[in-house]
Amino acid sequence: MTPPAAGFGTRIVSTGSFVPEKVVTNFDLAEIMDTSDEWIQKRTGIRQRHISDQSKGEGTVSLAINAAVDAFEKSGLAPEDIDLIICATCTQEMTCPSVACRISERLGTKKAAAFDLAAACSGFLYGLNFAETLIRCGRYRTALIVGADAMSTVMDYTDRSVSILFGDASGSVVVTRDDDPARGCQYQLMGADGVGWEALYMPRREVDIPEHDRDNPIKLGMLRMNGREVFKFAVKKFQEVIEETMEQSGHSIDDLSLMICHQSNLRIIESAREKLGIEEGKVYVNIDRVGNSSAGSIGLCLDELNRAGRINEGDLVLFVAFGGGMTWASSLWRV
């Protein structure tokens, strides 16, 4: 729980995103595993996903840089105006240097702090909330937050229960100080419960695999997921997080202009929307075109909405995510 907004205001200067060119449809997957377009659409809402072409060197760094450059160029700012770069990801090619430092290299920022943040699908919102708080308290003026995950690089495409869900994408946002303290994040919430980590994890060593999952045929380095467990957790958590955020902020669901949530599975999003009685048109969905892109998903949605002219000054926008860890986050903005 956080106290009401104080200090400086904040505002979104620009947004950016990137999806790799290569498209993999459900029909393509049905050619390499025992699945069908009908099953995937019915259980997840996904028709297709984009994946990186690793033969061309594409991956998390290129996803992150492309989204960062997109938002940075639209911001009209100079490299020296950026004080902080946060990249949320769980699929780094290298953990040292951070992906954020590769963004810094590309943008030519010479003094901005840069680091990666690991909170799985909640990572973009963790980054946004941290950056917003640092700007609001006056410590920094301008931050670039990027969410990027090349999930295809951690997919075992012999496993139909996990690999049908994910795709690669990135999203970014430049946030800066605003003189109006009423502008920006109205309320934010971040949490984690480590007890649930075994439902979603990427082991690098045999020793890291929990006893009960030793027979799981998924290769080391690839994502393992207990879909049913994650599903149950997500349905409950989404609703709780939204209710707590609206209640603590003093706003009602009807005040919302838009809800931008992590694109995990259409059934999870729909369940929260229906239970809370949120109008269909207020909840953005792009999972049908891009799948679940982990930390890339919320920034990508934000940029698509922004480019479509659907983010207008004064709007009340709610961001919500949950992810591996298990982690969760919300961020309620007066944009």
Terminal Cα-to-Cα distance of the chain (whole angstroms) = 21
Of 270, 184, 195, 149, the C-alpha closest to 11 is 184
Instruction: For the segment 258-277, give every residue that binds ligand UT7 (CB under 6 A).
Output: 264-265
Report the distance separating Cα 2 and Cα 129, nearest Å.
11
| Cβ-Cβ contacts under 8 Å for 236 (sequence gap 6 or more) | none
The nearer residue to ligand UT7, 38 or 180, going by C-beta atoms, is: 38
Contact region with ligand UT7 (CB under 6 A), list: 36-44, 78-86, 123-131, 301-309: 36-44
Residue 128 main-chain phi, psi, to 5 deg: -60, -45
Pick one of 35, 52, 89, 172: the residue that binds ligand UT7 (CB under 6 A). 35
Minimum CB separation of residue 185 from ligand UT7 in Å reads 23
Sign of CA dihedral 130, 282, 75, 52: positive
| 21 phi-psi bin (left φ>0, alpha ψ -120 to 50, beta other) | alpha
Site string (91-130) toward ligand UT7, x via CB under 6 A: ------------------------------x---------
Count of residues interacting with ligand UT7 (CB under 6 A): 20
Instruction: For the segment 137-156, give every residue that binds ligand UT7 (CB under 6 A).
Output: none
Minimum CB separation of residue 267 from ligand UT7 in Å reads 7
Instruction: For the segment 181-200, give every residue that binds ligand UT7 (CB under 6 A).
Output: 200
The nearer residue to ligand UT7, 149 or 304, going by C-beta atoms, is: 149
Q: Under the criterion CB under 6 A, does residue 165 sit at the interface with ligand UT7?
A: yes
Pick one of 23, 79, 227, 315: the residue that binds ligand UT7 (CB under 6 A). 227
Q: Under the criterion CB under 6 A, does residue 16 sit at the interface with ligand UT7?
A: no
Q: Under the criterion CB under 6 A, does residue 26 sit at the interface with ligand UT7?
A: no
| Cβ-Cβ contacts under 8 Å for 76 (sequence gap 6 or more) | 13, 14
The nearer residue to ligand UT7, 65 or 148, going by C-beta atoms, is: 148
Report the distance separating Cα 199 and Cα 227, nearest Å.
8
Minimum CB separation of residue 43 from ligand UT7 in Å reads 4
Sign of CA dihedral 155, 160, 166, 168: positive
Minimum CB separation of residue 238 from ligand UT7 in Å reads 10
Q: Under the criterion CB under 6 A, does residue 311 sit at the interface with ligand UT7?
A: no
Query: Angle at Cα 311 formed by Cα 308 and Cα 316, nearest 5°?
Result: 150
Pick one of 43, 141, 289, 310: the residue that binds ligand UT7 (CB under 6 A). 43
Interhelix angle 266-276/37-44, nearest 10 degrees: 30
The nearer residue to ligand UT7, 71 or 230, going by C-beta atoms, is: 230
Minimum CB separation of residue 129 from ligand UT7 in Å reads 18
Contact present, 149 and 91 (Cβ < 8 Å):
yes
DSSP H helical segments within the chain, as ranges?
26-32, 37-44, 60-75, 99-107, 123-136, 160-163, 227-249, 266-276, 287-290, 297-307
As annotated, the active-site residues are 121, 262, 292
Contact present, 291 and 157 (Cβ < 8 Å):
no
Q: Under the criterion CB under 6 A, does residue 39 sit at the interface with ligand UT7?
A: yes
Where b means 16+ CB within 10 Å and e means fewer, 117-129 reads: bbbbbbbbbbbbb
Q: Under the criterion CB under 6 A, does residue 292 sit at the interface with ligand UT7?
A: yes
Q: Judging by beta carbons within 10 Å of its beta carbon (0-12, 13-18, 19+), is residue 80 exposed, middle or buried?
A: exposed
Pick one of 11, 50, 160, 224: the residue that binds ligand UT7 (CB under 6 A). 160
Q: Under the criterion CB under 6 A, does residue 282 sit at the interface with ligand UT7?
A: no
Q: Residues in the site for ligand UT7, rule: CB under 6 A?
A: 35, 39, 43-44, 121, 160-161, 164-165, 200, 225, 227-228, 230-231, 234, 264-265, 292, 323
